[in-house]
Amino acid sequence: MSKYQYTERDVPALLGRRGFLKVIGLCAVAVVAAGAAITKLITSRNKVILDRQAGLYADDKRLQKMKLTSSHENDVCWQVYKDMNGKPVEGEMYKLNHTHYTPRSQLAMTEAEHHV
Amino acid sequence: MNVVTFRPPQGCRGEDGPEYQGNFRKGELRGIIKINKDNCVGCDTCRKFCPVDAITGGLGSIHKIRDDACVSCGQCLSACPFGAIEQMSFVEDVLKVLDDPKKFVVAHPSPAVRVALAEEFGGQPGDLCTEQMLNAFEKAGFTVYDVNQTADQTILEEGTEFIKKVRYWCLGERSPEVNQMAHHPLPHFTSCCPGWVRNMEINFASAIPHVSTTKSPVQMGGALAKSWAAKHIWNKDPRDVVMVAVTPCTAKIYEASRPEFVDAWKWNVEHGYLPKDTPAFPDIDYSLTTRDIAELLRRKGINPLTMPKTHEVKTMEKYTGAGTIFGCSGGVMEAALRTAYAILSGEELKDPDIITVRGMNNSLVEATIPIPLKAQGGKIFELRVAVVNGALQDLHKVMKIINEDKDRWHFIEVMNCPGGCVNGGGQPLQGAGSAWLAPTTPLPVKL
């Protein structure tokens, strides 16, 4: 007749069988929770941007219904050229409405202080 | 979370310094965005959102912004989870001029302000409140000159400029009208975004001939307000007109301080409308962010959401759909194409919604637009365009392609902030991290 031993054997490893199951279970819960949180973060991340863009596109639709779709349909802008006796990209209007740029690396070079 | 602001400190324009300091010219504002070292915990989030690598520091150490590299776009400020990044603000100065009965104070609100201002008063992102916003500005003592209208003006200028470039460089035309474009080759870059303009001047200076010479809508409005509008619309002395740009943008604060933007003063002096010894005044006097104007309205006890929802459109407030979509990534492109198509083909677009060029939340968009050329009997011209939606993610890629292949695109729109102006650094905060487009990883990974 065999003799049964009901106490668990001593395991040489760090964790016993039950301990191992507990740790694995907790790890699984942590992974699923973190995954859900990250997914939520990713899916809602650009929502603010898209909502605000949608607001402006709705404004665009409202104006399209009023026959104000493109910039050349804004008569006030043409009135500017009429009042100022000019044309786009020319003469006086060029001076008021256009600009020029400054290469910054050259600015830095003219006043560069090279430390020894 | 609230953004801490500070008044411009002594010497922030380099008034007492040399003509050039670092890469700043005398008069240009420096240190518009700064990290409060007492509040920085060294989480390193801001550094990953900076499009120009202007922030020094690592995980656990106090971070610092290098002014010479910074384009003042404010993306770090919106991303900071601890509210440690602060913004220069002119609210006090504007409140002071509003109390001065001699001054004619003009609010100059950008497109993206009207879909975000409501958030500061309990509304939702994207709530369109144009009428209420304009009523609130008038109650606060402003006259309004809408940037949406100057955006239309920008398209008339930039559209014409671009068409001249196409006629010179693509169609081979030579005439006095288009020969001025000989020094401005394609591809054509937009110039509306002050963050991109400074970034370009620092890092991509070889692109200068390609960038549109057209001013940004805000600056064009400043120059026209103190010349055309002061004379023909308002009947005011341009010296009494105070232009207050209301923008979603912190880089506009920098742009307003650029010393070349005194064109209205030059025009008035040249035409003898002002005496020759008049001291120079800037086209835009102050630039407020959406958060700043909300603060100003709160101090005046005005809640725009309780204002009437109807507003009679005045001359200076009239704008089109093309003007209003400037605030979205791809909007400048779409607005320019609507007008360029009409001029090149001689007929209006059947469907004005050019959805293929809209940036939405894609970091780079490419499209080909077929345009029948009226001058060549309806021959189709395939216009190739690209939209860079945020300088952080795809600008370097695009500039590298341009360096190798100038013919890849005809027209490139660049917006510094992901999503366009609607997500600018001056907009109400909506939790950190919205600036990372279509992410595959939850944080922008950059080691």
Q: Which two tokens stand for residue A15?
A: 């964790």
Chain A interface, mutation test: which of B21, B66, B115, B146, most A Cβ atoms within 10 Å?
B115
ipTM of this predicted structure: 0.92
* Contact predicate B274/B239, CB 8 Å: yes
Rg (CA), chain A: 36
Please say if B161 is a catalytic residue.
yes
Residue B435, pLDDT score: 67
Does A68 contact B338 at a Cβ distance shorter than 8 Å? no
In percent, the amount of chain B with pLDDT more than 90 equals 79
pLDDT of residue B333: 94
Concatenating the DSSP letter of every residue in B376-402 gives: GTTEEEEEEEEEEE-HHHHHHHHHHHH
State mean pLDDT over B328-335: 94
> So what's the pLDDT on residue A38?
79
CA distance B119 to chain A (A): 11
Contact A100 B438 (CB under 8 A): no
Contact A57 B328 (CB under 8 A): yes
- Kindly report the nearest CA distance between residue B315 and chain A, in angstroms: 7
Mean pLDDT along residues B282-296: 95
Is there a contact between B210 and B265 (Cβ–Cβ < 8 Å)?
A: no
**How many beta-carbon pairs under 8 angstroms link A with B?**
238
Q: What is the average pLDDT value for chain A, to the nearest integer?
A: 84
- For this structure, is B216 an active site residue? no
Is B348 close to A80, i.e. CB distance below 8 A? no
Q: Is B84 left (phi over 0), alpha (psi -120 to 50) or beta?
A: alpha
- The answer to whether B11 and B26 are in contact (CB under 8 A) is no
Does residue B352 contact residue B364 with C-beta atoms inside 8 Å? Answer: no
Confidence of residue B380 (pLDDT cuts 50, 70, 90): very high
- Confidence band (pLDDT; 50, 70, 90) for B446? very low
Confidence of residue A1 (pLDDT cuts 50, 70, 90): low
User: Between residues B137 and A13, which one has the greater pLDDT?
Assistant: B137
- Joined tokens for residue B274: 């002002």
Per the structure block, which two tokens stand in for B63? Answer: 């971070």
Nearest CA in chain A to B423: A49
- Nearest by CB to residue A88, choosing from B160, B318, B321, is B160
| Residue (of A97, A35, A36, A104) closest to B218 by Cα position | A97
Whether residue B433 has pLDDT greater than 70 = no
Does A110 have pLDDT greater than 60?
A: no
* pLDDT of the residue at B1: 67
From residue A77, give the alpha-carbon distance in Å to each of A99, B245, B317, B432. 19, 19, 11, 39
The string of DSSP codes covering B132-192 is HHHHHHHHTT-EE--HHHHHHHHHHHHHHHHHHHHHHHTS---STTTGGGGGSPSSEEP--
Average pLDDT, chain B: 91
Q: Which residue in the list B260, B270, B347, B348 is annotated as catalytic?
A: B260
Give per-residue pLDDT as tens, B133-163: 999 999 999 999 999 999 999 999 999 999 9
- B236 alpha carbon, distance to own chain's centre: 27
Choose the most confident range, by mean pLDDT, from A105-109, B23-27, B112-116: B112-116
Phi/psi at A110 (5° precision): -65, -30
B215: confidence class by pLDDT, cuts 50, 70, 90: very high
Q: Please state the domain extents for chain A.
A: 13-69, 70-115
In this structure, the strands spanning B33-35 and B143-144 are unpaired
**pLDDT score at A4:** 78
Q: Which residue of the set B70, B129, B249, B421 is catalytic?
A: B421
Percentage of chain B modeled with pLDDT above 70:
96
pLDDT band at B424 (very low <50, low <70, confident <90, very high): very high
Reported as a pLDDT band with limits 50, 70 and 90, residue B434 is low
CB B322 within 8 A of CB B339: yes
Residue B195 has pLDDT above 90, yes or no: yes
- Contacts (Cβ under 8 Å, ≥6 apart) of A72: A78, B155, B156, B159, B339, B342, B343
State the nearest Cα–Cα gap between B216 and chain A, in angstroms.
Answer: 9
Coil vs helix vs strand at A26: helix
Q: With a cut of 70, say whether residue B441 has pLDDT above it.
A: no
- Of the listed ranges A6-15, A80-89, B92-101, B321-330, the least confidently predicted one is A6-15
Q: Which residue carries 């916003």 as its tokens?
A: B133
Q: Is residue A78 scored above 80 in pLDDT?
A: yes
Q: What is the mean pLDDT of residues B163-185?
A: 92
CB contact under 8 A, A104 and B198: yes
Cis omega before residue B187 (within 30°)?
A: yes
Q: What is the pLDDT of residue B439?
A: 60
